[in-house]
Amino acid sequence: MSQKSLHLRLGTVVVLCALFLVFYAIPSFVFAPSNVGNIVLSPLFWPFVLAGLAGLVGAGLLASGVSSDDTPFEDADTGPSDGPAGWLRLLGLATIMVLVMVALPRLGMVWTSMLAFVACAFLFRTRHPMIAVICAIVVPLLLYAFFAHVAGVAIPQGHFVRLP
């Protein structure tokens, strides 16, 4: 498969999914009260933002596919691997998902997401482990600070450690 055909296929699927979300799924299945004062806090806002971003990514893939050449890109690094490594990573990811569901009520959303981020980063052997650990700590704390203190949304806390 060439990069051109891959980008064209992926771009088409992503744009179609984004259009489906914008015109059918979000209006039909996301309910929002009419008296929400701040648009950012509306339940409709972020699904539309994500669908719009997906549409932009799909359009970028289509543009990249149209402008790229038709040379194949599979080589020793990107070709399918022979062996159980892929299946073991998939099993590891499934285990992380189950552990997240078990840990959420006990540790809370912030601490569980930190641990899950670090576990996934090391499962997939990131090239930047220190940046992954820093992001695993900083991003959930910033999201907690925004949603708990700015937006006023209650974030589930655990039984052991409670954030202010």
Segments in 68-108 forming alpha helices (H): 85-107
Which positions ≥6 away from 117 have C-beta within 8 Å?
132, 135, 136, 139, 140
User: Is the pTM above the cut of 0.75?
Assistant: no
pLDDT over 70 (residue 80): no
pLDDT bucket at 157, cuts 50 / 70 / 90? confident
5 touches 65 (CB < 8 A): yes
**CA 91 to CA 85: how far, in whole Å?**
10
55 touches 10 (CB < 8 A): no
- Token pair 């078990």 is found at 102
Tens-place pLDDT, residues 92-145: 999 999 999 999 999 999 999 999 999 999 999 899 999 999 999 999 999 999
**CA 71 to CA 66: how far, in whole Å?**
13
